[in-house]
Structure 1
Amino acid sequence: MEKIGLKYGLLTAIGLAVYFVLMRLVGLSHIIELRFLNGIIMAIGVTMAIRAYKIKVRGNIGYFSGFGVGAITAIVGTTLFAALMLLYIKLGGGSLIETLSAERYFGERVQSTPGIVVFSVLMLEGVISGVMIAFIAMQYFKQKDHKVPNSP
C-alpha cells in the first residue's frame, strides 16, 4: 500500500512540477485561477493510485486501505511539490511569494516568508484537496461491480 502511494505521489509531484514549468515558460504562472488544473493533476494521481492498489489486491479493496493509498499519494505529491517550490523561491522566484501571499487566505496579509507561504498555501491546499479527492474516489472504488446498491 505504501509503495503504491509513494510511487504515485512521486508521479503526481512530477506532473505538478511539469505543469508549473510550462506555465512559467508561457508566462502564465501569475494567474492564480490556473492552479485549478493542479487539482485535476492531483485527482489523476490519486485515482490512478487507488486503481493500481485495487488491481494489486485483485478487486478486494477495503475502504480505509484504498483511502489511505489516496491520502499517501496526496501527501507525498504535495510535499515533494512544495519542496520544489520552496527551492524555486529560494533560488530567485521571489515574485511567486508576492503572487501567493497577495490572495489573503487568512484575512489580512500575513508575513510573506517562503516557509509560511509554501506551508499555508501549497501544502494545505494540496493535502486537503488530495484527501477530498481520495474520499470521493473511494465512493466509486469501494464497490466491486460499481452498481447502485439494492438495484436490479
Structure 2
Amino acid sequence: MEKIGLKYGLLTAAGLIAYFLLMRLVGLTHIVELRFLNGIIMAIGITMAIRALKIKEKGNIGYFSGIACGTITAIVGTTIFAALMLVYLKIGGQSLVEVLSADRYFGEHVQSTPGVVVFSVLMLEGVISGVLISFIAMQYFKQKDHKVPNSP
C-alpha cells in the first residue's frame, strides 16, 4: 500500500508541477479560481492509486486500506508540490505570495511569508482535499462489482 501511495504521489506531484509550470508559462498564476484544477489532478492521482491497490489485492481491499493509500498519495504529492512552491516563492514569486496570501484565510494579523503561504494554503488545502477525495473514492471502490447494493 505504501509503495503504491508513494508511486502515485510522485505522479500526482508531477502533474501538479506540470500544471503550475503551464499556468506560469501562460501567465495565469494570478487567477486563484484555476487552482480548482489542482483538485482534479489530485482526484485522478488518488483514484489511480486506489484502483492500483485494488488490482494488486485482486479486488479485496479493506475500506481503511484504500483511504490510507489515497491519503498517502495526497500527502506525498502535496508535500513535493509545496516544497517546489516554497522554493519558487522564495526565489522570486512575491506577487504569487500576495495572490495566495494567508491573511484572506486567517485574518489581517498573519504575516504573508512564503512559509506561511505554503503551509496554510497549499499544504492544508492539499492534504484535506486529498483525504476527502480518498473517502469519496472509496465509496465507489468498496463495492466488489461497483453495483448498487440489493439491485438486480
In structure 1, the residue matched to 2:10 is 10
Distance verdict in 2 for CA 1:93–1:131, change over 3 Å? same
In structure 2, the residue matched to 1:19 is 19
In structure 1, the residue matched to 2:44 is 44
- Give the secondary-structure state (helix, strand or coil) at the position aligned to 1:128: helix
- Give the secondary-structure state (helix, strand or coil) at the position aligned to 1:150: coil
Give me the whole-angstrom Cα distance separating, in 1, the residues matched to 2:9 and 2:150: 36
**1:138 and 2:143 equivalent?**
no
Q: Please list every run of 5 or more consecutive structure 1 residues that lacks an aligned counterpart in the other structure.
A: none
Contact 1:74–1:127 (Cα < 8 Å) also in 2: yes
Give me the whole-angstrom Cα distance separating, in 2, the residues matched to 1:102 and 1:119: 9
Give me the whole-angstrom Cα distance separating, in 1, the residues matched to 2:93 and 2:107: 24
The aligned amino acid for 2:125 is E
In structure 1, the residue matched to 2:75 is 75
* TM-score normalised by length of structure 1: 0.97
Output one character per residue of 1:75-126: Cα deviation in whole Å (capped at 9) or x when no partner: 1100000000001111111111111007601233520111111000000110
- Give the secondary-structure state (helix, strand or coil) at the position aligned to 1:104: helix
The aligned amino acid for 1:42 is M
Q: What is the aligned length?
A: 152
1:129 offset after TM fit, Å? 0.6
The aligned amino acid for 2:60 is N
In structure 2, the residue matched to 1:84 is 84
Give me the whole-angstrom Cα distance separating, in 2, the residues matched to 1:118 and 1:71: 19
Give me the whole-angstrom Cα distance separating, in 1, the residues matched to 2:146 and 2:40: 22
Contact 2:103–2:111 (Cα < 8 Å) also in 1: no
Runs of 4+ in 1 over 6 A off after TM superposition: none
In structure 2, the residue matched to 1:64 is 64
1:127 offset after TM fit, Å? 0.5
Give me the whole-angstrom Cα distance separating, in 1, the residues matched to 2:75 and 2:117: 17
Give me the whole-angstrom Cα distance separating, in 1, the residues matched to 2:77 and 2:42: 8
* TM-score normalised by length of structure 2: 0.97
Contact 2:102–2:112 (Cα < 8 Å) also in 1: no
